Amino acid sequence: MPTFQEHVEQAKSNFDCLSDFNQNMSYNFWDWQVTISFYTALHLVNAHIFQKTGNSYTTHTQADSVINFANVYSIAKLPEEQYLAYAKLQMLSRRARYLMSEQRQTSFTNEKHFVKAITYLDKLISYFNAQYNLNFPKKTMSCNRFTETYNYIQQK
Residue ranges and CATH numbers for the domains of the chain are: 4-155 (1.20.120.330)
**pLDDT score recorded for residue 107:** 62
Residue type (1 letter), 129: N
pTM over 0.85: yes
- Is residue 77 within 8 A of residue 67, CB to CB? The reply is yes
Residue type (1 letter), 123: K
**pLDDT score recorded for residue 28:** 67
What tens-digit pLDDT sequence spans the chain (156 residues)?
A: 899 999 999 999 999 999 998 888 665 688 999 999 999 999 999 999 999 999 998 899 999 999 999 999 999 999 999 999 999 999 999 988 887 555 555 568 888 899 999 999 999 999 999 999 999 988 888 877 664 445 666 554
DSSP string, 3-27: -HHHHHHHHHHHHHHHHHHHHHS-T
Sequence-ordered strand ranges (E) for 35-137: 100-101, 106-107
- If you ran DSSP here, which 8-state letter would residue 146 be given? -
**pLDDT score recorded for residue 58:** 82
